[in-house]
Amino acid sequence: MQQPRAVDFLIQALTHDRLSHAYIVRGTPVGAQPLVQALAVALFCPQGGCQHCSVCEQVVTETNPDLFTLRAAEDSKSGIIRLKQIEALVQKTLLPPVQSRLQVFVIENAEAMNTEASNALLKTLEEPSTQSLFLLVTPHVQRLLPTIRSRAQILPMNTEVQHADQAGFLQWADMAQVRHEEQKQAIISQLLTRNQQDLILQLQLLQRACWQEALVHFRAQPSQRTLVYAQQLLQLFDTAIEQLLAHGNTKLVVDFFCHDFFRLRGVRSR
């Protein structure tokens, strides 16, 4: 297996029933194939991935009825993934799985989606089906729309990251309960202990929780003010993740993100 850490990360999430609805797999389709197959057999195989049954064979031969792989159309000279392809894929998410509890949708070279296709996929990622799992495979993560990157977790392909809870990742409650400068500085210090890839994963986990909290508040008390406030917070995450993906200065990104985040949350600096 070429990506054992990423596979272990996904299997742990699956075991604890915390599998996200979408992941970004950093790599080429060929390089990511072992990971995709390992996850699919773990999800579909009655024995959890025996590698010998007909279900596992279906995964390897890409004939499993609950595994869909999207590539640029064969007649596409540009290699672009177009709107009609994404629309056809989204229609399949409306159908129940055939023989498993989940459907897995793989989009190879996801950076090749044009703007219309990306926006169509975004709508599905914002309101995901509980029966659908998306894997966006791309060696050029920074070419994906920032809004798509913020709705999917980047897999820790080459690090020793364990499950977020076990690795001591900050939880949303840690951010939400900050009221004083000392607490804010403690958060900054903890974020700065992460390498770039782990920091991106950390921000994505927090952004997802922020989005969930915003939805709860908006549904309970819908208002333009609540919506604008949520958009401002979520945009901070998008900007920080985009800067990190562009190989920005980690300390500078964390400092600016935390300053603006806690300012919006009402935490005063000295």
Residue 257, pLDDT > 50, answer yes
C-alpha span between 162 and 12 (Å, rounded): 8
The residues, ordered by sequence, that sit 6+ positions from 116 with a Cβ below 8 Å of its Cβ are 82, 83
Would the pLDDT of 175 be above 70?
A: yes
pTM: 0.59
- Domain 4-154 fold: Rossmann fold (3.40.50)
The answer to whether residues 125 and 20 touch, using CB atoms and an 8 Å cutoff, is no
Amino acid 75: pLDDT: 63
Q: Tell me: the pLDDT tens digits for 180-190? A: 888 889 999 98
- Where are the chain's structural domains? 4-154, 172-264
Task: Give residue 262's pLDDT band: very low, low, confident or very high (50, 70, 90).
Answer: very high
- Concatenating the DSSP letter of every residue in the chain gives ---HHHHHHHHHHHHTT---SEEEEES-HHHHHHHHHHHHHHHH-TTS--SSSHHHHHHHTT--TTEEEE---TT-SS-PBPHHHHHHHHHHHTSPPSSSS-EEEEETTGGGB-HHHHHHHHHHHHS--TTEEEEEEES-GGGS-HHHHHTSEEP-TTS----TTTTTPPPHHHHHT--SHHHHHHHHHHHTTS-HHHHHHHHHHHHHHHHHHHHHHHHHS--HHHHHHHHHHHHHHHHHHHHHHTT--HHHHHHHHHHHHHHHTTPPP-
Phi, psi of 81, deg, nearest 5: -90, 120
Q: Which range has the worst mean pLDDT, 113-117, 164-168, 198-202?
A: 164-168
- Tell me the pLDDT of the chain averaged across its residues: 83
- Residue 30: the pLDDT is 77
- Within 13 A of 258's CA, how many CA atoms are on the CB side? 24
Average pLDDT over residues 49-65: 88
Average pLDDT over residues 82-107: 92
